Structure 1
Amino acid sequence: MRNLILSAALVTASLFGLPAQAAEPIEAGKQYVELSSPVPVSKPGQIEVVELFWYGCPHCYQFEPTLNPWVEKLPADVNFVRIPALFGGVWNVHGQLFITLEAMKVEQRVHAAIFEAIHKDGKKLATPEEMAEFLAAQGIDKDAFLKAYNSFGVKSQMEKAKKLAMAYQITGVPVLVVNGKYRFDIGSAGGPEQALDVADQLIAKERAAQ
């Protein structure tokens, strides 16, 4: 009977994606890859966690409810950064949208609404004009958005994002990079919650090395 109860508990854990035991220590080459050439972080002195994403990516959208509460609880010595992956076409269009909103300092206000518009409401947001119309309903000035969208500063940040994605050697999204050294994704980590456990362990590793 004891064995039957234990087996049932393990099956229940696997069905609901719950770990049957405590998380094991992570290893390079298994849950994450150590980059051969570390990438400089944006704020020296802080441990950086980068998420590379695309607004049109369903996996990125599904990761949001797990990722956001974790980000909100990060300690003061950890800097979380989102970077759009720019693989051409609509990826670049959406990436330019994100970078424009960051430049306008309104991205956090509308980040969730953009994901919802694309994945629940079926909006494409594939042109600056369509974006401007949508953002106007979110309280963002259309003309100010279009001016920023085509600005030199935004285009410069686009080039920077492309170079970072190349330096991180990414081939898909969502991907997390800790302190410019360690790259992993939901698949390699074993799931969304496990990916954040990998991030936590790598943050602790970097903190201990400082």
Structure 2
Amino acid sequence: MYKRPLLFISYTLFIIVAACFCTSVYFYHYVIPVSEEKSLSFIAPEKLAGSPLKDDNVIVEVFSYGCHYCEMNEANIAGLGKMLPAGARLIQLHINNEEQAGLAAFAPLFATLTVMGIEAQHRSAAYRAIIEENNNLADKNHLNLWLKANGIDQAEYDKAHDSEQVKALLAYLTSVSRYYRVNATPSFIVNRKWLAVQDREFPAFNKQLLSLLQDDKPLEP
């Protein structure tokens, strides 16, 4: 009378153990390698012709005003700029997409301030308003109050915002983000061919970026 329940329990335990084993094997062989690969990707040379980035010897940081880590890294990125070899450049671009959803919501602010020539001087204020004060600068009413508080003429801002230069810059930001499949910030594009996400602390990560730039190869983890 105990044979059937015992057989059922044994079979159930076997299924559980087998499922756990299969899950572990799958996780080890597939999930873990994918996670590791995401920290550094390589664009094949034959595909570089399609890149919206045209200049070599350049490190591009793709960031967002809504990214806490981007704000924290500003001093480190400034340090990276000072470490660049002669002829190399560091460019900072805001992530963007057609819907301007998520972290891309603030791309119009970046593009407009850039066209106005005042983006760098107001970047820390934009970070602070969005991240620390929870102020949605993608909202027109909140934005207008922020412009006034930071001494930015609203009429000039609106004129620049509606300009062809801003539209072209937003399209460019979208093309860079889309081509390199940037879905996390900050991300770094090195020499048009490497996409690196921070996988170690600064200043070690600066050395990683410089190795990709100068030697075309990553450092050991």
**Which of the numbers 29, 33, 37 marks the counterpart of 2:41?**
33
Identity of matched residues, %: 23
Q: Please state if 1:201 is matched with 2:211.
A: yes
Measure the CA separation in 1 of the matches of 2:200 and 2:161.
Answer: 37
> Quick one: which amino acid aligns to residue 177 of structure 2?
A
Over 3 Å counting, the alpha-carbon distance change for 1:123 and 1:72 in structure 2 is farther
Higher share of residues assigned helix: 2
Measure the CA separation in 2 of the matches of 1:91 and 1:150.
Answer: 21
Q: Please state if 1:71 is matched with 2:78.
A: no
What is the Cα deviation at residue 111 of structure 1?
0.8
Structure 2: stretches of 5+ with no match in the other structure: 1-35, 217-221
Judge conservation of contact 2:81–2:89 (CA < 8 Å) in 1.
Answer: no
Show the counterpart of 2:101: 89
Show the counterpart of 1:185: 197
Bigger CA drift: 194-203 or 172-181?
194-203
Aligned positions of 1:4-153 closer than 5 A: 32-36=40-44, 37-38=47-48, 39=51, 41-42=53-54, 44=55, 47-87=57-97, 88-89=100-101, 91-153=103-165
TM-score (ref. length: structure 2) = 0.70
> Quick one: which amino acid aligns to residue 132 of structure 1?
N
What is the Cα deviation at residue 163 of structure 1?
1.1
Over 3 Å counting, the alpha-carbon distance change for 1:91 and 1:150 in structure 2 is farther
Show the counterpart of 1:176: 188
> Quick one: which amino acid aligns to residue 155 of structure 1?
K
SS in 1 for 2:196: strand
> Quick one: which amino acid aligns to residue 88 of structure 2?
V
SS in 2 for 1:170: coil
Measure the CA separation in 2 of the matches of 1:159 and 1:102.
Answer: 14
What is the Cα deviation at residue 191 of structure 1?
3.0
Measure the CA separation in 2 of the matches of 1:31 and 1:172.
Answer: 10
Judge conservation of contact 2:43–2:193 (CA < 8 Å) in 1.
Answer: yes
Measure the CA separation in 2 of the matches of 1:47 and 1:193.
Answer: 20
What is the Cα deviation at residue 73 of structure 1?
4.5
Judge conservation of contact 2:160–2:166 (CA < 8 Å) in 1.
Answer: yes
Judge conservation of contact 1:54–1:174 (CA < 8 Å) in 2.
Answer: yes
Instruction: Provide, for residues 162-183 of structure 1, a one-character-per-residue CA deviation record: whole Å limited to 9, x for no partner.
Output: 1111111222111001111111
What is the Cα deviation at residue 99 of structure 1?
0.7
> Quick one: which amino acid aligns to residue 119 of structure 2?
E
Pairs aligned (count): 175
